[in-house]
Amino acid sequence: MGNMMEYIKMAFKNITANKGRSFLTMLGIIIGIASVIMVMSVGDGTANAMNSEVADLGTGQINVYCSDDSINAEAWITPEDLQAVRERIEGVDGATPNDGSSGSTVTGKGEFAVQLSGGTEDIQKSMNYNMKRGAYFTGADVEEGNRVCVITDNDAKRLFGSDDVVGMDIEVTINNITGSYRIVGVNQQKENSGFVSYTYEGMPVALEVPYTSFESFGWESDSFYSAVVFANDKASGEEVARDIIHLLETRHQCAGEDYYQIQSFQDMVAELNGMLAIVTTFISCVAAISLIVGGIGVMNIMLVSVTERTREIGIRKSLGAKTSSILMQFLAEAAILTIVGGIIGILLGLLGAAGACSLMSASMGSTIHPGIKASTILGATLFSCGIGVFFGIYPARKAAKLSPIEALRRN
């Protein structure tokens, strides 16, 4: 074993003596490792890009809704519930009912469908809000049930041809009742990105309004089917969710009935990431199969090499090489072939990943950087080394076990 360096040198000598063959032997490993690295880097890069875009949607957002079992309005969430959530649960920044209504409006530009989201002023905590003009409606507006609204700059342009609309009124018809909403703020419409779409063609005009304003259209606004709670960055979404359910169940005396369900944004992102990971793993497995085929190629060539070099093995044994010496020499050869192949494969894989990512970035309108993890590279190196040793053992043992006279007799 102390002679390991010598065996490695011998192995190198033999590999370089048959350069063409050695390269062809490595090719299988190169292709296998390159494809695994490429798939994993592109997969991780896509996940990273997706996560950073989705993070903009507000990761601290927790959706609370009543399950179908809670048809009885007893259990529905009340403004007082939300007040309690806001005040009593640690890590909660805000809470708003998630009420909605749809209607239509007619302006000088034509007739438009309108989607109204009713909530409290806390809605502005949902996304990284960027008010362009005016200001968000206030707690007082909510309390008084004022018909005020916030509109996006895009929708303002659709309705009025300009986003300088603060102070203007929109006539909205809901349930055959027409009322006017005063525009108090204009926020900036986010642009669609590769993974997240904020707008689509024919989308209704979206207005954010105090939920209490629906009362003037004959709507009750004292209980809701669903609500949104905003947890701050430091809070653990899971803990906050548990506390919310506990609080609601206590307030509505329905512990253990599973009336309330929670879906946090983190859950959805995690689900999405999980799916992407499955896809990446699956493709990597397919690529890994090619690695095994590459390993069999190495074994095959090593077997040929053992047969060709039977006499050399006999000579070495007659000069005092032990079984372990021959084993080491041939194992080293297989390992070097696969490690060198692995390194070339890693480099090609990284190059390929960079290429694929820039192609994808260009076609999707997002920036995807290849996600290169040290663990991936280390894993690939160890894996190729493992393949070399695994598939090298059989030929190496075959060589090592040759009896010297048998080996010397052969030509």
Partner 1 sequence: METLIKVLDMCKIYNPGENEVRALDHVSLEINRGEFVAIIGHSGSGKSTLMNMLGCLDVPTSGSYYLNGKDVSMMKDNQLSEIRNQEIGFIFQGFNLIANLNAIENVELPLIYRGIGKRERHRLAEEALKKVGLEKRMGHRPSEMSGGQQQRAAIARAIAAEPPVILADEPTGNLDSASTQEIMEILKGLHRAGRSVILITHDNEIAAQAKRVVRILDGRIVEDYYNSE
Q: Where are the alpha helices (DSSP H) in 89-146?
A: 139-144
Residues binding partner 1: number (CB under 8 A) = 24
Residue 294: count other Cβ atoms within 10 Å of its Cβ.
28
Angle at 126 between CA 120 and CA 130, to 5 degrees: 100
**What's the burial of 34, exposed, middle or buried (CB within 10 Å: 0-12/13-18/19+)?**
buried
Instruction: Pick the piece of the chain touching partner 1 (CB under 8 A) from 145-153, 166-174, 298-306, 307-315.
Output: 307-315
> Which residue matches tokens 């108090």?
184
Site residues for partner 1, 248-287, by CB under 8 A, read none
Q: Which residue, among 326, 147, 137, 131, has the nearest Cα to 219 in the 3D structure?
A: 147
Q: Does 321 interact with partner 1 (rule: CB under 8 A)?
A: yes
Other C-beta atoms closer than 10 Å to the C-beta of 155 total 24
For residue 184, CA distances in Å to 164, 178, 384 come to: 11, 19, 63
Shorter beta-carbon distance to partner 1: residue 10 or 30: 10
> By the 8 A CB rule, do 35 and 287 touch?
yes
Question: Quick one: 372 exposed, middle or buried, by C-beta within 10 A (0-12, 13-18, 19+)?
Answer: middle
403 binds partner 1 (CB under 8 A): yes
Task: Answer yes or no whether residue 304 interacts with partner 1 by CB under 8 A.
Answer: no
Could you tell me the smallest distance in angstroms from the CB atom of residue 320 to partner 1? Answer: 2
Q: How far is the CB of 22 from partner 1 (least distance, A)?
A: 13
Among 71, 131, 293, 405, indicate the residue that binds partner 1 (CB under 8 A).
405
Q: Interface with partner 1 includes 315 (CB under 8 A)? A: yes
Tokens found for residue 270? 């995690």
195 HSE (CA, 13 A, CB side): 22
Q: By CB under 8 A, which span of 31-39, 196-204, 295-303, 310-318 interacts with partner 1?
A: 310-318
Q: How far is the CB of 311 from partner 1 (least distance, A)?
A: 7
Q: Which stretch binds partner 1 (CB under 8 A): 21-29, 271-279, 299-307, 315-323?
A: 315-323
Residues 12-31 close enough to bind partner 1 by CB under 8 A:
13-14, 17
Asked if 194 touches partner 1 (CB under 8 A), the answer is no
Write out the residues near partner 1 by the rule CB under 8 A: 2-3, 6, 13-14, 17, 311-312, 314-325, 403-405, 408
